[in-house]
Structure 1
Amino acid sequence: MEKHLVILGGGESGVGAAILARQKGYGVFLSDGGSLKEVYRNELEQEGISWEEGGHTEEKILVADEIVKSPGIPEKNELMQKIRAKGIPVISEIELAYRFAGSSKIVAITGSNGKTTTTALIHHILKTGGLDAALAGNIGMSFAKQVALDPKPVYVVEVSSFQLDDIDQFRPYISVLTNITEDHLDRYGYNFDNYIASKFRIIRNQQATDYFIYNADDEVTKRSLDKFNIQSIQLPISMENENSAAFIKDGDMYVRTGEDFINMSIYDFTLKGKHNQYNTMAACVTAATMDIRKEKIREAVQTFQNLEHRMEHVATIRGVEFINDSKATNVNSTWYALESMTKPTVLILGGVDKGNDYSLMQEMVAEKVKAIICLGVDNKKIHEAFGNTVSIIIDTTSAEEAVGAAFAHAEKGDVVLLSPACASFDLFKNYEDRGRQFKRAVIEL
């Protein structure tokens, strides 16, 4: 009797899970409440996988032996409640991929901020050091699709709290937790402790031969360590404590794992800003733990290219620099972006607010920002938060309008920074669409 697997959600992770499950002999049915992208329809057709879109046929779903749920579907969803009531096991795509990853080593990265950059940097260092490593998860190909179509001895996987919520056996050889700040609280009953517990699930199945890299200067992480049963070898990174696996002192980073010692100047990092020094430390400790030679680690850190939509330099026009940080979808990300600014800044802010507390940015905005350009449908909260701090706040409803207004209020030597602190769904398809429209508007100035 073949096992009947139902996949909810037909995005990158859902279609990846379907392809892997079909390959491994499961009976597979994929159901998406919205519409599938053409590329995913074609992949499902090629693999002979049955699917539906535009709604869920319950009688086909509630007969499943197991369900793989898209990370985007919340537990309070009515269909999910029926699935839970029937007691059908629900797993995430990373759990399915893990089942078939064999003896490959998994490096998994999570955190509220910095996880995409850290994941990409780890992958770059491992490749530079000669390892045949895949980049998967929320960045690159889905983990399941990678395992199905192009298996590798090492997987570097970015994982979200939503994916970790539905793991069972998933066990990384190295897990990295960049930091924990309030994000996605709408999905966790507005209870921060639930979100923290979700992030710490990354270490849940780790054993004494595995490694856990975390930021020891992050207050939330630090005070949560004792609440979880951590079996793995702990490798903290810090700018305050020299007894860490990596630390920074007087402009130099030192990485110490086992007997070996690497040091290099932070001025050689291609990634700028204090938050990126933490990301770089985490990546270097990971690489040292994977036995990458130190000269290769040094070379990789100096040759890494930053990601699109993450503090991406777009152009300098009449002395005004434009930076695309569209991936900053929460207050903390925007705080970090502002922290790394060294010139007067015109900030483009706004979008769909996930319960943002703008007071966290108050001091940083007062210190760095000369004007705020709102890019969103409802900007009331931004006006209330910064009306007394910034004298110029302008509402716009398109990327072109926002860029035009920002350019009008910027002088030679200023920066225009798109770092919205919000999701993008009110005016754009996603943060990539927002970033691309911003870049197009800048180039057309």
Structure 2
Amino acid sequence: MAAAASASTRKSMEINVAERPAAPNPFATPYGSMPASRVASTTAVFSQKRPYFRSRRIKKGEVERPWLEKKDPREKWVWIIPVIGIVVGFALSAYIIWDGTRKISNYKYCQVLDEDFSRGFDPNVWTKEVESGGYGNGQFEVTTNTDENAYVQDGLLHLKPTLQDQNLIETINTVDLTELGICSSLVFTDCVSATNTTNGTIVNPIKSARLSTKASTSIKYGRVEVVARLPTGDWLWPAIWMLPKNDTYGQWPASGEIDIAESRGNNYTYPQGGNQLISSTLHWGPSHSADGWWRNHAVKPVLLSTYPRAFHTFGLEWTPKYLFTYVDSRLAQVIYTGFNKPFWQKGDFPVADANGTRFVDPWSQTGHSATPFDQDFYLLINLAVGGTNGWFQDGIAGKPWVDASTRAKLDFWNAREQWLPTWKDGGAMEIKSVKMWQQEGFNGCSP
């Protein structure tokens, strides 16, 4: 009976399912919920096979833009402020350039020297000075008048250091340049050197060159430009400088000295500054112990390089109002000294020296603020080696001698296996050209 009831129940359920209307498709377009007019229009649209998606892009001119009708007065500052910043930037740059050059006047000049060495070495222009005294700096070279140390090759003037005759260093002897008739100085110690194997003193262990225009060309105010490549090598000391033709105000440094460019041949790692730097200096003072050089001294590095890698122009401009040195461009100044007050006042020297001798102003009688740099100066170019004046500081970078030692030259000579190989490539100073101009109104210059 239960089975019959179950069968009856299933039959009843099948009838009910069959009579139940089909459920609507949830993904079908709900036309049944739309009004008849909407259904008809929708059907008509699809019957015309038009795309279902329509562009919603707004046509030009359909959107109102009230900001075009009335501009915000603050909007102009959006471009005014940047423009003002640009103008101010240019103005500041122009002022910096002007301020650096405002004291530079375009003077007229007479060219008094134009040397490019195309015709070789001219002894009428250049004097090869011969001395062994170290020029007050205890330098280790004797300068010679031979082609071994100063010569022209391939249109370039070369100043090249070489080793001294070993026999002169290792045996007792005396070298007297006066007896040989070639010494350029009247001072005994500048002309005589000796080797004494007992106390360790020796003749100068290096031969090199020092050239000057003293006998041919000098200027009182004007310009100088030397195009040169500086040497590379440990303990080399190249210099381009000027001295007074006459000691008008007394012995050095009372009559002045102008160092246009000095350097060291040691490489850029040298703590005092190697061949990536040059320095310019003015020397002036009432005595050796009172030299105001440190008040007019500056260094200039070469950008991302060293000076021996290329030729550079080392220049001087000198007038009754100022003096400055430069490298490659007159705007790239190294030192600038205005003659705005007497050098005695600039020096602020002590009252007396260590011995109690009172210092006296050697320049007061002229009444010129440029004194002592108001006399004729001539040009010198030399390549020194070593020295005992502190240009190479004791105790750094393996310096093989001590300045105060009487054996300084011998100690340097004994270390030649260390420093001589560094001279092999680029150990000579090369000069491409030398030019000098006399300012109009002085020394007969009237172009």
Structure-1-length-normalised TM-score:
0.25
**Bigger radius of gyration, 1 or 2?**
2
* TM-score of the aligned structures, taking structure 2 as reference length: 0.24
